């Protein structure tokens, strides 16, 4: 996972970091991660395993932290861009959609707290598409109001599918971008053709060109079953998705590895961001900042 130039243009922090989808995408755009936070012990193992050589100073300086609620904002190094795929379970259609009634839904306020204290040049957030309509749109409007009226940032949003940026997976997600200078012009990137199909992923003839959205749970069903997302017909036979195929569908390189169980690896991939989409949006964020 090499960097293109030795001199990064911008710095960023990686909140609710998971296994580092944001980290990888912004690193590909020549940015440096100066702080990261992830509380799940298994995700932390995978993150450190893959990024310790890529971003050694992050770990050497003690800036890879756990529970965000225990982090003092003034202890975070200065940075340009705040990245966060904050917990989606509270807003997901797969969950109970409790929103701010669920403790995971209140994690957005930790983001707002850090933005208020650190005043970064930009923020870049991701969540499930149902976040947009949760509680008749009131949840989304609450967050938009905090970011714009209370914190003074611009606000741009769009629902984008992973398959619109070369990955053979549906995975529609809500992406939100804002700038401290609200006069900065920003546009989300235009879709690109599919780079590989599910047949390429499997190395055999798959019944679908674009795969289902990878989830964090509910594996092992048959192709005809409701809510199946992990079973496919390949060369006429039923095959169950493994982390080997799933990481390609998410945009992680072959070199990315999982020092955890297969169950944990699939859970982590299901909770991750689609790297190609984040990379494309990040490129436009950086262009806007320049």
Would you say residue 143 has pLDDT above 80? Answer: yes
Residue percentage of the chain with pLDDT more than 70? 91
Q: Which of 83, 88, 163, 206 is catalytic?
A: 88
Domain assignment of residue 38, yes or no: yes
Domain assignment of residue 99, yes or no: yes
pLDDT of residue 289: 95
Domain assignment of residue 213, yes or no: no
Domain assignment of residue 4, yes or no: no
Domain assignment of residue 46, yes or no: yes
- Give the domain extent around 36: 11-194+257-289
Task: Give the tokens for residue 251.
Answer: 């945009």
- Number of domains present in the structure of the chain: 1
pLDDT of residue 135: 80
Is 186:179 a contact under the CB 8 Å cutoff? yes
Average pLDDT over residues 147-164: 97
C-alpha distances out from residue 175 to 83, 101, 162, Å:
11, 22, 12
Domain assignment of residue 246, yes or no: no
Structure confidence by residue, pLDDT tens digits, 93-110: 444 544 334 434 478 889
The CA radius of gyration of the chain, in Å to the nearest whole number, is 18
Is 44:51 a contact under the CB 8 Å cutoff? no
Confidence band, pLDDT 50/70/90 cuts, at residue 138: confident
Q: Which domain CATH number covers 141? A: 3.40.50.150
In the residue annotation, 142 being an active-site residue is answered as no
Least confident of 52-56, 185-189, 231-235: 52-56
Task: Give the tokens for residue 177.
Answer: 């971008």
Is 124:163 a contact under the CB 8 Å cutoff? no
Would you say residue 8 has pLDDT above 70? Answer: no
Structure confidence by residue, pLDDT tens digits, 21-74: 999 999 999 999 999 999 999 999 999 999 999 999 999 989 999 999 999 999
Domain assignment of residue 153, yes or no: yes
Which residues are CB-neighbours of 62 under 8 A, at least 6 positions away?
A: none
Domain assignment of residue 167, yes or no: yes
pLDDT of residue 136: 86
């Amino acid at each position: 996972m090499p960097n293109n130039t030795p001199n990064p243009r911008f710095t960023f922090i990686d909140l609710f970091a998971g296994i580092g989808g944001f980290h990888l995408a912004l690193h590909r755009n020549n940015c440096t991660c100066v702080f990261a936070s992830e509380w799940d012990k298994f995700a932390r193992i995978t993150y450190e395993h893959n990024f310790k050589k890529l971003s050694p100073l992050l770990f050497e300086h003690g800036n890879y932290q756990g529970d965000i609620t225990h982090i003092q904002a003034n202890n975070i190094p200065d940075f340009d861009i705040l990245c966060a795929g904050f917990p989606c379970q509270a807003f997901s259609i797969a969950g109970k959609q409790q929103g701010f009634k669920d403790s995971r839904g209140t994690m957005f306020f930790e983001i707002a707290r850090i933005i208020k204290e650190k005043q970064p040049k930009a923020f870049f957030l991701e969540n499930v598409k149902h976040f947009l309509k949760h509680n008749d749109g009131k949840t989304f409007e609450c967050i938009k109001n905090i970011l714009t009226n209370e914190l003074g940032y611009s606000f741009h949003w769009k629902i984008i599918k992973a398959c619109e940026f070369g990955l053979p997976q549906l995975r529609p997600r809500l992406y939100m971008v804002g700038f401290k200078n609200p006069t900065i012009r920003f546009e989300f990137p235009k879709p690109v053709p599919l780079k590989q199909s599910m047949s390429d992923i499997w190395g055999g003839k798959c019944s679908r060109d674009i795969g289902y959205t990878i989830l964090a749970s509910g594996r092992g069903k048959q192709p005809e079953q409701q809510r199946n997302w992990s079973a496919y017909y390949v060369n006429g036979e039923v095959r169950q998705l493994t982390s080997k195929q799933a990481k390609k569908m998410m945009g992680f390189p072959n070199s990315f590895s999982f020092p955890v169980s297969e169950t944990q690896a699939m859970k982590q991939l299901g909770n991750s961001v689609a790297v190609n989409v984040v990379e494309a949006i990040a490129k436009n964020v950086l262009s806007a900042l320049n």
